[in-house]
């Protein structure tokens, strides 16, 4: 029934439509900074607030836990309170989390702040794409919703810039401190607190802007507020298109099945609900199963493992993140011209080839690694509680033959509480820093600041570490020359295909495929899967790489992306230019009305 109107025929000078897309982008920027700011801040937090290594890991990973919690309730609350109120709530939670972290004086306050950050990120990633899909005209829905993803990638870049800026300020302050412990403490303290404080600016802008938004027309219609829904539609559509779309909602809302029963009371186990819900869940889970989160998080280690120095890896990482941002903008332009199905099909096919190429490149030299458990065991101290293996030692340099090499050690120890723990440690002979050329396992330490003679001074407490046993140790070459370049090209290819396909289409697939009756709840479940796969991929990455090499991880991601490609190419319908009601009718088996 929908009469498609060209973009050029949409209301001229439509300031509200631009405002909608702007707020969507600001939500994405907030989510990107929300996720990325901890990387830079972590360099200084533990210098001013006592934290063990375990507590550091908890503080970083708890963000994902907050996102999982948000995925469980954000959709249901968006149905109950409305999309607009939940968007404002997400921004306010973010601002609150930043302020709590900024004034934190202990680990507990930091932890609560990080949980709130995760909650805000989860709420925004569920509600903003939902709101935009329900508000934007079908002709620009792809570009409008893609603004969220583009600004999220920009948020990662901005978070890195904020961290770099305050790191420079910190270094200047430390140089001026002339070894004064109190001034150095103040510089460390100011660095991470200011990083978080500046990161709150997008949250303030997003929350303030969301207050001036109207409610979603489809949410208003479901609440029997048809006049308000029509008024909202008129703000971003022509008069005729607004009336036509409202009538389509009415027709869809009063639709009856062949047996005369009302469609709104159908079982949720019917094909028209199960199929789109399943497709959305597969797409959301497979998006993370491509390895995008882990590749961005561990890109430095991945490139270093390909034979690049730390400086080279850092430079290549900047190129990769830059490509992610630029190509996402290209995808946002193409998504309403070429369509979601073709972009996802071509892009996932390209991702499969990129991951396969990277896996094969790594396998060429990782297959040459040998077991050196005996040599590593010889590096354990007499009391069995400390291990120090230096790749410059004769035992390893002779094995390496003078070429760059990597040592990966899987070890276990008693943690002093009756539990047997495992760990992975890796060293590279071409690392710039001496510590990165050695594997050192020693009793855990906890740093804290104490006051001596009126001045702050560092105090270190040692925690007992049980006897170490070596489970597996592999030593072998990392390539020189062109291999590092080819792997960089493979990663750039991967990130480009991801940005132009899943990067811009994943939020559209999530919002467009879900039927109105289950959209909010279904999005929450799908986001839960997305976040869960992201967590599992990042969690198992060190273990898989330590045991089987980088190639194994790339082959796993490649296999998951094959499933993604099959889903996109053979099962996903094209939704370009269709209203949400028309997409729903497709899965119900209804024939499209003549336009």
Q: What is the pLDDT of residue 553?
A: 92
pLDDT at 498 over 80: yes
595 vs 187: which has the higher pLDDT? 187
**CB-based burial of residue 123 (10 Å sphere; 0-12 exposed, 13-18 middle, 19+ buried)?**
buried
Q: What is the pLDDT of residue 286?
A: 92
- DSSP summary character for residue 591: P
Residue showing tokens 């028309």: 582
- What pLDDT does residue 451 have? 53
454: left (phi over 0), alpha (psi -120 to 50) or beta: left
Per-residue pLDDT, averaged over 327-347, amounts to 85
Q: How much is the pLDDT for 352? A: 97
pLDDT of residue 391: 80
Sign of CA dihedral 462, 467, 473, 477: positive
Cα 460 from Cα 251, distance rounded (Å): 70
User: Which pLDDT value is given to residue 170?
Assistant: 84
- Tell me the pLDDT band of 205, cut-offs 50, 70 and 90: very high
- Mean pLDDT (the chain, rounded): 79
> Which range is least confidently modeled, 229-233, 259-263, 425-429?
259-263
The per-residue pLDDT for 460 is 52
Transcribe 288-322 into DSSP letters.
Answer: HHTTHHHHHHSHHHHHHTTT--HHHHHHHHHHHHH
Q: How far, in Å, CA of 541 to CA of 338, rounded?
A: 35
- Predicted confidence at residue 53, as pLDDT, reads 54
| DSSP class of 98 | H
- Core vs surface per residue 213-231: b (16+ CB within 10 A) or e: bbbbbbbbbbeeeeebbbe
- pLDDT of 138 reads 74
The pLDDT assigned to 44 comes to 81
pLDDT bin (cut points 50, 70, 90) of residue 592 is low
pLDDT greater than 80 at residue 572: yes
Can you tell me the mean pLDDT for 331-335? 81
**pLDDT (0 to 100) of residue 353:** 97
DSSP state of 417: S
Write down the pTM of the prediction. Answer: 0.69
Over residues 533-551, mean pLDDT: 80
Please tell me the predicted confidence (pLDDT) of residue 260.
47
The predicted pLDDT at position 430 comes to 72
Q: Which one has a higher pLDDT value, 64 or 20? A: 20
**Is the confidence at residue 594, as pLDDT, over 50?**
no
On the question of pLDDT at 559 being above 90, the answer is yes
Higher pLDDT, 132 or 272: 132
Q: What is the pLDDT of residue 183?
A: 85
Provide the token pair at 374: 């005996």
Alpha-helical regions (H) of 200-291: 201-210, 217-222, 226-234, 239-253, 271-289
pLDDT over threshold 50, residue 505:
yes
Lowest mean pLDDT among 114-128, 326-340, 433-447, 451-465: 451-465
Query: Quick one: pLDDT at residue 358?
Result: 95
pLDDT over 90 at 237, yes or no: no
Cα 146–Cα 148–Cα 149 angle in degrees, nearest 5 = 70
Q: Report pLDDT for 238.
A: 80
- Sequence-distant (≥ 6) Cβ neighbours of residue 594 within 8 angstroms: none
Go through the chain and tell me how many residues it has: 595
Q: In 3-state terms, the chain is what percent helix, strand and coil (to 5)?
A: 70, 10, 20
Res. 13 pLDDT band, cuts 50 70 90: very low
Residue 107 · residue 552 · CB < 8 Å = no
Q: What is the pLDDT of residue 39?
A: 67
Question: Looking at residue 432, what DSSP letter applies?
Answer: S
As a whole number, mean pLDDT of residues 301-320 equals 74
Mean pLDDT lowest for which of 65-79, 120-134, 221-235? Answer: 65-79
Task: Map residue 191 onto helix, strand or coil.
Answer: helix
Mean pLDDT of all residues in 251-280:
63
Q: Which of 48-62, 463-477, 503-517 has the lowest mean pLDDT?
A: 48-62
- Tokens 């690049």 label which residue? 308
pLDDT band at 595 (very low <50, low <70, confident <90, very high): very low
Dihedral sign for Cα 169, 174, 176, 177, please: positive
The pLDDT assigned to 10 comes to: 52
pLDDT digits 0-9 by tens, 342-391: 999 999 999 999 999 999 999 988 888 888 888 888 888 887 778 888 88
In this predicted structure, the answer to whether residue 191 has a pLDDT above a threshold of 80 is yes
More confident residue, 200 or 40: 200
User: Residue 171: how many CB atoms within 10 A of its CB?
Assistant: 12
Per-residue pLDDT band at 57 (split at 50, 70, 90)? low
Residue 1: pLDDT band (50, 70, 90) is very low
Tell which residue, 185, 238, 182, 193, has the closest CA to residue 17: 238
Which of these ranges, 164-168, 445-449, 535-539, has the smallest mean pLDDT? 445-449
What whole-number distance in Å separates Cα of residue 533 and Cα of residue 309? Answer: 30
Q: Is the pLDDT of residue 535 over 80?
A: no
Query: How confident is the model at residue 480, as a pLDDT?
Result: 66
Could you tell me which of 148, 153, 236, 157 has the C-alpha nearest to residue 505?
148
Report, as an integer, the average pLDDT of 494-506: 89
Residue holding tokens 């794409």? 129
**pLDDT at position 2, please?**
46
Question: Within a 13 Å sphere around the CA of 224, how many CA atoms are in the beta-carbon half?
Answer: 0
Question: Which domains are present in the chain?
Answer: 1-213 (1.20.1250.20), 370-479 (no CATH)
């Amino acid at each position: 029934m929908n009469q498609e109107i060209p973009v050029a025929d949409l209301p001229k000078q439509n300031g509200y439509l631009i405002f909608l897309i702007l707020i969507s982008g600001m939500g994405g920027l907030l989510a990107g900074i929300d996720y990325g700011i901890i990387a830079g801040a972590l360099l200084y937090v533990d210098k001013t607030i006592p934290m063990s290594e375990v507590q550091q890991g908890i503080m970083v990973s708890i963000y994902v836990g907050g996102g999982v919690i948000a995925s469980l309730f954000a959709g249901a609350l968006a149905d109950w309170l409305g999309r607009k109120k939940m968007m404002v709530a997400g921004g306010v939670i973010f601002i609150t989390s930043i302020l709590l972290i900024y004034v934190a004086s202990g680990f507990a306050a930091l932890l609560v702040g990080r949980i709130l950050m995760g909650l805000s990120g989860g709420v925004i990633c569920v509600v903003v794409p939902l709101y935009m899909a329900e508000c934007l005209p079908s002709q620009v829905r792809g570009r409008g919703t893609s603004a969220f993803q583009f600004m999220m990638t920009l948020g990662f870049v901005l978070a890195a810039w904020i961290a770099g800026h305050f790191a420079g300020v910190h270094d200047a302050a430390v140089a001026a401190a002339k070894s004064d412990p109190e001034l150095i403490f103040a510089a460390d303290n100011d660095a991470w607190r200011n990083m978080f404080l500046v990161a709150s600016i997008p949250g303030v802008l997003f929350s303030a802007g969301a207050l001036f938004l109207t409610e979603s027309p489809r949410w208003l219609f479901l609440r029997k507020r048809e006049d308000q829904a029509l008024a909202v539609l008129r703000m971003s559509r022509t008069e005729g298109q607004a009336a036509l779309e409202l009538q389509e909602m009415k027709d869809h809302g009063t639709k009856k099945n062949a047996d005369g029963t009302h469609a709104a009371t159908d079982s949720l186990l019917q094909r028209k609900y199960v199929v789109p819900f399943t497709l959305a869940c597969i797409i959301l889970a497979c998006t993370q199963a491509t390895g995008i989160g882990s590749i961005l998080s561990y890109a430095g280690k991945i490139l270093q493992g390909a034979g690049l120095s730390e400086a080279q890896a850092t430079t290549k990482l900047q190129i990769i993140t830059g490509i992610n941002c630029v190509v996402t903008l290209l995808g946002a332009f193409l998504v309403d011209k070429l369509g979601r199905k073709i972009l996802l099909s071509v892009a996932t096919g390209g991702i499969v080839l990129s991951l396969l190429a990277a896996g094969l490149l790594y396998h060429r030299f990782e297959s040459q690694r040998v077991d050196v458990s005996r040599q590593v065991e010889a590096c354990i101290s007499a009391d069995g509680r400390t291990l120090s293996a230096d790749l410059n030692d004769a035992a390893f340099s002779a094995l390496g033959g003078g070429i760059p090499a990597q040592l990966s050690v899987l070890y276990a120890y008693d943690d002093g509480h009756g539990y047997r723990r495992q760990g992975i440690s890796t060293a590279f002979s071409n690392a710039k820093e001496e510590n990165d050329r050695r594997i050192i396992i020693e009793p855990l330490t906890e740093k804290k600041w104490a006051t001596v003679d009126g001045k702050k001074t560092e105090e270190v407490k040692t925690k007992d570490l049980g006897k170490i046993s070596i489970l597996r140790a592999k030593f072998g070459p990392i390539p020189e020359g062109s291999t590092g370049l080819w792997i960089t090209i493979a990663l750039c290819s991967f990130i480009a295909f991801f940005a132009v396909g899943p990067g811009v289409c994943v939020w559209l697939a999530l919002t467009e495929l879900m039927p109105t009756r289950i959209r909010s709840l279904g999005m929450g479940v799908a986001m839960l899967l997305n976040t869960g796969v992201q967590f599992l991929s990042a969690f198992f990455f060190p273990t898989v790489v330590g045991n089987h090499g980088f190639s194994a991880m790339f082959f796993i991601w490649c296999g998951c992306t094959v499933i993604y490609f099959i889903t996109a190419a053979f099962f996903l319908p094209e939704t370009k230019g269709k209203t949400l009601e028309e997409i729903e009718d497709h899965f119900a088996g209804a024939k499209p009305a003549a336009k």
